[in-house]
Amino acid sequence: MTTPTPSGAKGPGRWPLIIVGVLFLAITGFFLYEFMDATGAEVALREVTPVADGLTSDSYLSEVTRLLADADAASGARWVEEFGCIACHRLAGNVKIAPNWQGIAARAGDRRPPLTAAAYLYESITQPSNFVIADYLPSMPADYATRLSEKQLGDIIAYLLTADAH
């Protein structure tokens, strides 16, 4: 006849397992917390504004076409200096505060489909917070729509559309 082992006798044998389990949970929890924290920080830094609903390939197009009809790129080159754009942007080179303008004519049409390159540039200048490029802060001044005349705005868009040629 065998006497059943009192259940309490097994207790001390399980302690190492319990300790390992608790440690495992604590470490996993810590990493999970850290991970979520890091992800949160990244999201805050990017500040990506959701793409506005209802954008079509026609958005801003009539406005931009009108502005470009009378525009000249050479004057645009002057305005980007006069209005301080080049304090943050450069044609080439690595400036961290804002994306440089090398290749912008080619890239502009891919930034925010279905906007055309010209429409994208128009929106970037007049409503910069509508779309903020990943890894940049939304630091571009929001008042160019009122500071620039229509002629100046058109000239700048024309300049950027041909920026690589300068």
For ligand HEC, the closer of residues 66 and 107 by Cβ is: 107
Instruction: Give the type of residue at 114.
Output: P
Report d(CA 95, CA 61) in Å as an integer.
30
C-beta separation of 129 from 142 below 8 A: yes
- With binding defined as CB under 6 A, does residue 91 bind ligand HEC? no
Tell the smallest beta-carbon distance from residue 34 to ligand HEC (Å). Answer: 28
How many C-beta atoms lie closer than 10 Å to residue 50's C-beta?
7
How many C-beta atoms lie closer than 10 Å to residue 159's C-beta?
25
Chosen residue from 132, 151, 162, 164 binding ligand HEC by CB under 6 A: 132
- With binding defined as CB under 6 A, does residue 113 bind ligand HEC? no
- With binding defined as CB under 6 A, does residue 88 bind ligand HEC? yes
- With binding defined as CB under 6 A, does residue 89 bind ligand HEC? yes
Report d(CA 132, CA 46) in Å as an integer.
8
Site pattern 47..86 for ligand HEC (x: CB under 6 A): ---------------------------------x--xxx-
CB-based contacts of 73, cutoff 8 Å, min separation 6: 155, 158, 159, 161, 162, 166
For ligand HEC, the closer of residues 22 and 142 by Cβ is: 142
C-beta separation of 109 from 120 below 8 A: yes
For ligand HEC, the closer of residues 111 and 151 by Cβ is: 111
- With binding defined as CB under 6 A, does residue 90 bind ligand HEC? no
| Region of residue 2 (left: phi > 0; alpha: psi -120 to 50; beta: else) | beta
Chosen residue from 64, 67, 71, 104 binding ligand HEC by CB under 6 A: 104
For ligand HEC, the binding residues (CB under 6 A) are 80, 83-85, 87-89, 97-99, 104, 111, 121, 124-125, 128, 132-133, 136-141, 144, 156, 160
